[in-house]
Amino acid sequence: MKKLPFDIENLILKINAHFSCSVKRLNYLKQYYETSDDYSKLLKHVPIRWLSLFQAIDRLVENIEPIFRYFREEEKDDDLDIIICEFIEINTKSENLVTLPELYLYFTHQYMRIFNGTILLLEKNSLNSTHLYSIYFKLRSILLNRKNELQFGRNVETKLVNFSQKEKKDFFEVAVNTYERAIKYIDNYFDSNKQNFYLKLQNHDLERNLNHKDLIEICKSINLVIDYDKLYDECVQINYVMNNFNSHNKGISHDLKWGKLLQLYNCPNLEQIIEIVLVIPIGNDYVERIFSVMKKVWKDDRNHLNVNVVKAELCVKLNFNMLCRDFYLYVKNNEELLSLVKSDKKYKRKNKE
* Residue-wise pLDDT tens digits, 149-183: 999 999 999 888 888 899 899 999 999 999 999 99
For residues 112 and 18, membership in a common domain is answered with yes
Report the percentage of the chain scoring pLDDT > 70: 94
Give the side-chain half-sphere CA count within 13 A for 177. 11
* Domain assignment present for 34: yes
The rounded distance, in Å, linking the Cα atoms of 315 and 70 is 50
Q: Are 45 and 60 in contact (CB under 8 A)?
A: no
pLDDT at residue 95 tops 90: no
Within a domain: 2: no
Can you give the pLDDT at residue 331?
A: 86
| Distance (Å, whole) CA 143 – CA 60 | 24
pLDDT, position 35? 81
Q: 238 and 119 in one domain?
A: no
pLDDT classification of 313: cutoffs 50, 70, 90 = confident
Whether pLDDT at 353 is above 60: no
Asked if residue 205 and residue 185 are part of one domain, the reply reads no
pTM above 0.85, yes or no: no
CA 88 to chain centre: 31
- Other Cβ atoms within 10 Å of 100 Cβ, number: 20
- The reply to whether 35 and 165 lie within a common domain is yes
Helix (H, G, I), strand (E, B), or coil: what is residue 316?
helix
Do 22 and 152 belong together in one domain?
yes
Residues 136 and 248 in one domain: no
**Residue percentage of the chain with pLDDT more than 90:** 29
In a domain, 38, yes or no: yes
Residue 13 has pLDDT above 80, yes or no: yes
Decide which of 224, 251, 277 is a domain's last residue.
277
- The domain total for the chain is 3
Residues 264 and 298 in one domain: no
Q: Which of 138, 165, 189 is the endpoint of a domain?
A: 189
pLDDT value, residue 10: 92
Last residue of a domain, one of 165, 189, 213: 189
Do 222 and 178 fall into the same domain?
no
* Cβ count within 10 A of residue 306: 8
- Domain limits at 296? 285-342
User: Is residue 48 one of the residues assigned to a domain?
Assistant: yes
Q: Are residues 154 and 234 located together in one domain of the fold? A: no
